[in-house]
Amino acid sequence: MKNLFFVPLVFLVFSCSNDAERIDEEENLETNANFVFEDSFETSSNDFSLLFPNDNSRWTTVQLISPNRDTNSLGLSSNIVSDGNQSLVIQSKQSDEILSKADIEKGAFSAATNSKVTIEADYYIDSDANLENLFLLDLECCSCWDPEVDADPSVDGDNKCPGIRLMLSGGDDYLAIERGKIAGTTLRQSSFKFPRKEWVTIRWELVLSPNEDGANKVFLNGDQILSQDGMNMPNAQVFRDVFAENNIDFELQLPVVYERIQVGATANPNAEDLTIYVDNFSMTIENN
Protein backbone atom coordinates (compact mmCIF):
# COMPACT_ATOMS: atom_id res chain seq x y z
CA MET A 1 0.00 0.00 0.00
CA LYS A 2 1.39 3.40 -0.97
CA ASN A 3 1.52 5.90 1.87
CA LEU A 4 0.93 9.61 1.95
CA PHE A 5 1.55 11.57 5.13
CA PHE A 6 0.56 15.22 5.46
CA VAL A 7 1.33 17.84 8.11
CA PRO A 8 -1.20 20.73 7.94
CA LEU A 9 0.41 23.17 10.37
CA VAL A 10 1.09 26.88 10.23
CA PHE A 11 4.59 26.79 11.69
CA LEU A 12 6.50 23.82 12.95
CA VAL A 13 9.94 22.78 14.15
CA PHE A 14 10.52 19.08 14.71
CA SER A 15 13.04 17.57 17.10
CA CYS A 16 14.08 14.02 16.29
CA SER A 17 17.64 12.79 16.34
CA ASN A 18 17.83 9.19 15.06
CA ASP A 19 17.39 8.19 11.42
CA ALA A 20 19.35 5.86 9.19
CA GLU A 21 19.12 8.22 6.25
CA ARG A 22 20.53 11.28 8.00
CA ILE A 23 22.71 13.35 5.74
CA ASP A 24 26.20 14.29 6.87
CA GLU A 25 27.14 17.93 6.44
CA GLU A 26 29.88 20.29 7.49
CA GLU A 27 28.91 22.49 10.42
CA ASN A 28 31.59 25.13 10.03
CA LEU A 29 29.73 28.37 9.36
CA GLU A 30 32.76 30.59 8.80
CA THR A 31 32.57 32.43 5.49
CA ASN A 32 35.71 30.70 4.21
CA ALA A 33 34.32 27.16 4.71
CA ASN A 34 32.64 25.05 2.05
CA PHE A 35 29.12 23.73 2.65
CA VAL A 36 27.53 20.60 1.20
CA PHE A 37 23.96 19.49 1.85
CA GLU A 38 22.04 16.70 0.14
CA ASP A 39 18.68 15.16 0.97
CA SER A 40 16.43 12.77 -0.93
CA PHE A 41 13.66 12.82 1.73
CA GLU A 42 14.16 9.19 2.76
CA THR A 43 12.96 8.25 6.26
CA SER A 44 11.83 5.11 8.02
CA SER A 45 8.09 4.43 7.84
CA ASN A 46 7.36 7.65 5.93
CA ASP A 47 7.92 9.59 9.14
CA PHE A 48 8.03 13.25 8.16
CA SER A 49 9.37 14.32 11.56
CA LEU A 50 12.65 12.48 10.90
CA LEU A 51 13.58 15.21 8.41
CA PHE A 52 14.17 17.50 11.43
CA PRO A 53 16.75 15.97 13.82
CA ASN A 54 18.02 17.88 16.84
CA ASP A 55 21.50 18.27 15.37
CA ASN A 56 20.18 20.17 12.29
CA SER A 57 21.94 17.73 9.99
CA ARG A 58 18.86 17.67 7.77
CA TRP A 59 16.11 20.29 7.49
CA THR A 60 15.53 23.16 9.92
CA THR A 61 11.81 23.95 9.83
CA VAL A 62 8.77 24.36 7.57
CA GLN A 63 6.76 27.35 6.46
CA LEU A 64 3.03 26.74 6.09
CA ILE A 65 0.75 29.74 5.62
CA SER A 66 -2.67 28.74 4.35
CA PRO A 67 -5.34 30.87 2.68
CA ASN A 68 -8.60 31.35 4.52
CA ARG A 69 -10.54 29.01 2.28
CA ASP A 70 -8.33 25.90 2.56
CA THR A 71 -5.27 24.35 4.20
CA ASN A 72 -1.78 23.84 2.79
CA SER A 73 0.19 20.75 3.76
CA LEU A 74 3.61 19.13 3.55
CA GLY A 75 4.38 15.44 3.78
CA LEU A 76 6.13 12.44 2.28
CA SER A 77 4.91 10.37 -0.65
CA SER A 78 5.89 6.97 -1.99
CA ASN A 79 3.51 7.30 -4.95
CA ILE A 80 5.57 9.62 -7.14
CA VAL A 81 9.34 9.57 -6.64
CA SER A 82 12.31 10.57 -8.76
CA ASP A 83 14.73 8.25 -7.00
CA GLY A 84 14.61 6.05 -3.93
CA ASN A 85 11.41 5.36 -2.00
CA GLN A 86 10.07 8.78 -1.00
CA SER A 87 9.66 12.36 -2.12
CA LEU A 88 8.47 15.57 -0.49
CA VAL A 89 4.85 16.28 -1.42
CA ILE A 90 3.32 19.75 -1.17
CA GLN A 91 -0.34 20.68 -1.31
CA SER A 92 -0.34 24.38 -2.21
CA LYS A 93 -3.73 26.08 -2.23
CA GLN A 94 -4.58 29.19 -4.22
CA SER A 95 -4.14 32.46 -2.34
CA ASP A 96 -6.99 34.72 -1.33
CA GLU A 97 -6.42 37.74 0.89
CA ILE A 98 -3.69 35.65 2.54
CA LEU A 99 -0.58 34.77 0.50
CA SER A 100 -0.30 31.00 0.30
CA LYS A 101 3.09 29.44 1.23
CA ALA A 102 4.16 25.83 1.73
CA ASP A 103 7.83 24.95 1.88
CA ILE A 104 10.63 23.26 3.79
CA GLU A 105 13.62 25.26 5.02
CA LYS A 106 17.32 24.66 5.53
CA GLY A 107 19.35 27.14 7.57
CA ALA A 108 22.67 27.30 9.43
CA PHE A 109 24.93 28.02 6.48
CA SER A 110 26.73 31.09 5.23
CA ALA A 111 27.04 32.17 1.59
CA ALA A 112 29.01 35.40 1.27
CA THR A 113 30.01 37.69 -1.59
CA ASN A 114 32.05 35.83 -4.25
CA SER A 115 30.71 32.45 -3.12
CA LYS A 116 29.67 30.01 -5.81
CA VAL A 117 26.29 28.52 -4.89
CA THR A 118 24.80 25.55 -6.72
CA ILE A 119 21.25 24.43 -5.91
CA GLU A 120 19.65 21.43 -7.57
CA ALA A 121 16.33 19.67 -7.11
CA ASP A 122 13.89 17.46 -8.99
CA TYR A 123 10.36 18.88 -9.27
CA TYR A 124 7.16 17.20 -10.42
CA ILE A 125 4.12 19.47 -10.85
CA ASP A 126 1.05 17.28 -11.11
CA SER A 127 -1.17 19.80 -12.87
CA ASP A 128 -1.89 21.56 -16.14
CA ALA A 129 -3.24 24.57 -14.22
CA ASN A 130 -1.90 28.11 -14.34
CA LEU A 131 1.51 28.44 -12.63
CA GLU A 132 1.90 32.20 -13.00
CA ASN A 133 4.17 33.65 -10.29
CA LEU A 134 4.65 30.32 -8.53
CA PHE A 135 7.86 30.54 -6.46
CA LEU A 136 9.90 27.34 -6.10
CA LEU A 137 13.18 28.26 -4.35
CA ASP A 138 14.11 31.22 -2.12
CA LEU A 139 17.68 32.07 -1.05
CA GLU A 140 17.58 34.68 1.72
CA CYS A 141 19.42 36.73 4.33
CA CYS A 142 17.42 37.51 7.48
CA SER A 143 20.21 38.69 9.80
CA CYS A 144 21.16 41.48 7.39
CA TRP A 145 17.86 43.36 7.87
CA ASP A 146 18.05 46.66 9.75
CA PRO A 147 16.35 45.92 13.11
CA GLU A 148 15.21 49.55 13.39
CA VAL A 149 13.10 49.29 10.23
CA ASP A 150 9.72 47.63 9.86
CA ALA A 151 9.13 45.01 7.18
CA ASP A 152 8.91 46.16 3.57
CA PRO A 153 5.21 45.93 2.57
CA SER A 154 5.92 46.60 -1.11
CA VAL A 155 7.22 43.09 -1.77
CA ASP A 156 5.73 40.49 0.53
CA GLY A 157 3.95 42.17 3.39
CA ASP A 158 6.30 40.69 5.96
CA ASN A 159 9.60 40.93 4.12
CA LYS A 160 12.52 41.13 6.50
CA CYS A 161 14.62 38.58 4.62
CA PRO A 162 16.03 40.04 1.40
CA GLY A 163 17.04 37.59 -1.26
CA ILE A 164 16.47 36.10 -4.68
CA ARG A 165 13.85 33.60 -5.81
CA LEU A 166 13.36 31.09 -8.60
CA MET A 167 9.87 31.42 -10.04
CA LEU A 168 7.65 30.62 -13.01
CA SER A 169 6.61 33.58 -15.14
CA GLY A 170 6.03 34.71 -18.72
CA GLY A 171 2.90 32.80 -19.63
CA ASP A 172 3.28 30.70 -16.44
CA ASP A 173 5.64 28.17 -18.03
CA TYR A 174 9.10 29.79 -17.91
CA LEU A 175 11.65 29.71 -15.10
CA ALA A 176 12.96 33.12 -14.07
CA ILE A 177 15.07 34.66 -11.29
CA GLU A 178 13.06 37.17 -9.29
CA ARG A 179 15.09 39.92 -7.55
CA GLY A 180 12.38 42.22 -6.20
CA LYS A 181 13.39 41.65 -2.58
CA ILE A 182 16.82 43.12 -3.33
CA ALA A 183 15.33 45.95 -5.45
CA GLY A 184 16.34 44.37 -8.76
CA THR A 185 14.45 43.42 -11.91
CA THR A 186 13.45 39.87 -12.80
CA LEU A 187 15.86 37.92 -15.04
CA ARG A 188 13.64 36.14 -17.58
CA GLN A 189 13.79 33.65 -20.45
CA SER A 190 11.04 32.52 -22.80
CA SER A 191 12.66 29.71 -24.79
CA PHE A 192 12.25 26.69 -22.52
CA LYS A 193 8.86 25.80 -21.08
CA PHE A 194 8.56 24.00 -17.78
CA PRO A 195 7.28 20.43 -18.35
CA ARG A 196 4.23 19.19 -16.44
CA LYS A 197 3.41 15.81 -14.94
CA GLU A 198 6.98 14.54 -15.25
CA TRP A 199 10.16 14.84 -13.22
CA VAL A 200 12.22 17.91 -14.07
CA THR A 201 15.72 18.61 -12.74
CA ILE A 202 16.34 22.28 -11.91
CA ARG A 203 19.91 23.48 -11.39
CA TRP A 204 20.56 27.05 -10.22
CA GLU A 205 24.14 28.32 -10.26
CA LEU A 206 25.19 31.63 -8.74
CA VAL A 207 28.36 33.57 -8.09
CA LEU A 208 27.21 36.00 -5.45
CA SER A 209 27.71 39.74 -5.71
CA PRO A 210 25.89 42.90 -4.58
CA ASN A 211 27.03 44.48 -7.85
CA GLU A 212 26.38 43.84 -11.53
CA ASP A 213 29.20 41.27 -11.83
CA GLY A 214 27.18 38.51 -10.12
CA ALA A 215 26.64 35.36 -12.21
CA ASN A 216 23.16 33.87 -12.59
CA LYS A 217 22.55 30.61 -14.48
CA VAL A 218 19.59 28.22 -14.61
CA PHE A 219 19.57 24.74 -16.14
CA LEU A 220 16.54 22.59 -16.95
CA ASN A 221 17.20 18.86 -17.39
CA GLY A 222 20.86 19.64 -18.03
CA ASP A 223 20.23 22.37 -20.63
CA GLN A 224 21.26 25.92 -19.80
CA ILE A 225 18.16 28.06 -20.21
CA LEU A 226 19.25 31.33 -18.60
CA SER A 227 22.64 33.02 -18.16
CA GLN A 228 22.84 36.67 -17.20
CA ASP A 229 25.21 38.72 -15.09
CA GLY A 230 23.73 40.99 -12.45
CA MET A 231 23.32 41.78 -8.77
CA ASN A 232 22.14 38.78 -6.73
CA MET A 233 22.84 39.93 -3.16
CA PRO A 234 21.53 42.88 -1.14
CA ASN A 235 23.46 46.06 -1.94
CA ALA A 236 23.85 48.50 0.96
CA GLN A 237 23.66 51.66 -1.16
CA VAL A 238 20.69 50.40 -3.17
CA PHE A 239 18.79 49.72 0.07
CA ARG A 240 19.70 53.15 1.45
CA ASP A 241 18.43 54.82 -1.70
CA VAL A 242 15.19 52.82 -1.90
CA PHE A 243 14.24 53.47 1.72
CA ALA A 244 15.37 57.10 1.54
CA GLU A 245 12.58 57.67 -0.99
CA ASN A 246 10.22 57.17 1.98
CA ASN A 247 12.41 59.15 4.38
CA ILE A 248 13.63 55.99 6.12
CA ASP A 249 17.21 55.42 7.17
CA PHE A 250 18.23 51.85 6.38
CA GLU A 251 21.55 50.11 7.01
CA LEU A 252 22.17 46.52 6.02
CA GLN A 253 23.64 44.58 8.92
CA LEU A 254 27.07 43.02 8.45
CA PRO A 255 28.10 40.50 7.41
CA VAL A 256 25.68 40.29 4.49
CA VAL A 257 25.42 36.55 3.83
CA TYR A 258 22.68 34.24 2.65
CA GLU A 259 21.75 31.88 5.47
CA ARG A 260 18.59 30.00 4.54
CA ILE A 261 17.07 28.23 1.55
CA GLN A 262 13.33 27.54 1.22
CA VAL A 263 12.16 24.75 -1.09
CA GLY A 264 8.67 23.95 -2.32
CA ALA A 265 5.87 26.37 -3.16
CA THR A 266 7.47 29.29 -1.33
CA ALA A 267 4.69 31.58 -2.54
CA ASN A 268 1.62 30.90 -4.65
CA PRO A 269 0.01 34.30 -5.28
CA ASN A 270 -1.73 33.60 -8.59
CA ALA A 271 -1.54 29.89 -9.41
CA GLU A 272 -4.41 27.51 -8.74
CA ASP A 273 -4.47 24.65 -6.24
CA LEU A 274 -1.40 22.51 -6.91
CA THR A 275 0.22 19.24 -5.90
CA ILE A 276 4.00 19.44 -6.18
CA TYR A 277 6.64 16.78 -5.52
CA VAL A 278 10.31 17.48 -4.78
CA ASP A 279 13.16 14.96 -4.65
CA ASN A 280 16.97 14.79 -4.70
CA PHE A 281 17.69 18.23 -3.28
CA SER A 282 21.30 19.40 -3.04
CA MET A 283 23.11 22.63 -2.25
CA THR A 284 26.83 23.39 -2.32
CA ILE A 285 28.66 26.59 -1.38
CA GLU A 286 32.24 27.23 -2.45
CA ASN A 287 33.51 30.27 -0.58
CA ASN A 288 36.41 32.17 -2.11
161 vs 45, 78, 172, CA distance in Å? Answer: 35, 33, 25
What tens digit of pLDDT does each residue of 141-191 get? 999 999 999 876 454 446 789 999 999 987 778 999 999 999 999 999 999
Rounded Cα distance between 285 and 288, Å, is 10
In the predicted model, residues of the chain with pLDDT beneath 70 are: 1-33, 152-158
Residue 225: Cβ within 10 Å count: 20
pLDDT (0 to 100) of residue 4? 40
What residues does each domain of the chain span?
16-286
pLDDT (0 to 100) of residue 6? 38
Cross-strand bridge partners of residue 227: 217
Q: What is the DSSP string of 218-283?
A: EEETTEEEEEEE---S--HHHHHHHHHTTT----PPSS--B-EEEEEEEE-SS--SEEEEEEEEEE
Rounded Cα distance between 103 and 146, Å, is 25
The CATH number for 16-286, chosen from 2.30.110.10, 2.60.120.200, 3.40.30.10, 2.40.110.10, is: 2.60.120.200
Look up the pTM and report it. Answer: 0.86
Rounded Cα distance between 168 and 183, Å, is 19
Q: Which of 288, 180, 186 is nearest to 234 (CA)?
A: 180
